[in-house]
C-alpha cells in the first residue's frame, strides 16, 4: 500500500485513493490475481457503472450475510466469510468511487471518503491473521469473487448476443446501446455502449 499523505495534506481525493489502494492490496492477499488486476477489472467495472453506490453495495452485503445456501448446498462458515469479505471490498470501493466522482473536498466527497475508509478498516479487521494462513480460504475468496461478477458477465453476454442479432437494425452503436440499456439488461447506457463498442473492436481485430 502506498504511503498515506501527512494529515494536513490529505484531501477527499487522496483519502479515496488511499482506500482504493488498500482494497487492491487486500485483493492480492486473497490470491485473486495481482494488485493491478483489481484496478483493471474490479475498480474499472464499478467506475464505468453509473449506478454504482456504497448504499447499493451495502444492501448486497446484508443479503450476503443472510445467505443459507451456496451453489445449491448449505453454506459453510468459511464460504460465507469469504463472500462477506468480497462484499465489504465492493462496499468500500463503491464509496471511494463516489468520493472520486464528487467535487473535490466538498462535504459530500469527504463523507463518501470517510465511509470508504470505515469499510476498509472493517475489512482489515475481518482479515486479521489471513496473511499467515491464506491457502485454506483463498479458493473460497476466488469463488466468491467469481460469483459476485457472474451476474455482470451474464448481462454483458446477453447484450452482446442481442447486438450480434440486431446490429443491422440500428444506424449506430449509440442507438443500439440506448435501446439495450435498461431493456435488454439492467445497465446504464454508458455500460451498454462500452460493451458493444469493445465487442465491435474485437470483431474488427478478429479476436471476438
Could you report the per-residue pLDDT of 29-70, keeping only the tens digit for each?
766 556 677 887 789 889 988 889 999 999 999 998 998 887
The answer to which of 18-27, 50-59, 139-148, 192-201 has the lowest mean pLDDT is: 139-148
How large is the angle between the packed helices 77-101 and 12-29, nearest 10 degrees? 150
d(CA 187, CA 191): 6
Mean pLDDT of 172-198: 86
Cα-Cα end-to-end distance for the chain? 36
Of residues 206 and 179, the one with the higher pLDDT is 179
d(CA 91, CA 64): 12
The answer to which of 61-70, 119-128, 182-191 has the lowest mean pLDDT is: 182-191
Q: Given a cut of 50, is residue 132 above it in pLDDT?
A: no
Distances (CA, A) of 35 to 2, 23, 54, 187: 12, 9, 22, 27
pLDDT at 140: 52
Contact indicator for 21, 41 with CB cutoff of 8 Å: no
Instruction: Give this prediction's pTM.
Output: 0.68
Amino acid at each position: 500500500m502506498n504511503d498515506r499523505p501527512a494529515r494536513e495534506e490529505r484531501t477527499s481525493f487522496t483519502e479515496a485513493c488511499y482506500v482504493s489502494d488498500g482494497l487492491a492490496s487486500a485483493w492480492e492477499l486473497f490470491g485473486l490475481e495481482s494488485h493491478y488486476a483489481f484496478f483493471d477489472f474490479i475498480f474499472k467495472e464499478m467506475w464505468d457503472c453509473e449506478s454504482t453506490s456504497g448504499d447499493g453495495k451495502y444492501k448486497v452485503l446484508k443479503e450476503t450475510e443472510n445467505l443459507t445456501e451456496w451453489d445449491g448446498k448449505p453454506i459453510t462458515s468459511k464460504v460465507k466469510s469469504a463472500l462477506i469479505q468480497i462484499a465489504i471490498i465492493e462496499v468500500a470501493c463503491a464509496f471511494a468511487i463516489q468520493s472520486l466522482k464528487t467535487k473535490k473536498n466538498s462535504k459530500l466527497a469527504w463523507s463518501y471518503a470517510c465511509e470508504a475508509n470505515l469499510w476498509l478498516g472493517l475489512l482489515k479487521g475481518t482479515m486479521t491473521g489471513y496473511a499467515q494462513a491464506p491457502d485454506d480460504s483463498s479458493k473460497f475468496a476466488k469463488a466468491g469473487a467469481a460469483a459476485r461478477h457472474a451476474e455482470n458477465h451474464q448481462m454483458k453476454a446477453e447484450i452482446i448476443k442481442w447486438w450480434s442479432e440486431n446490429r443491422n437494425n440500428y444506424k449506430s452503436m449509440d442507438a443500439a446501446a440506448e435501446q439495450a440499456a435498461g431493456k435488454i439488461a439492467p445497465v446504464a447506457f454508458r455500460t451498454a455502449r462500452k460493451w458493444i463498442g469493445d465487442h465491435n473492436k474485437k470483431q474488427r481485430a478478429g479476436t471476438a
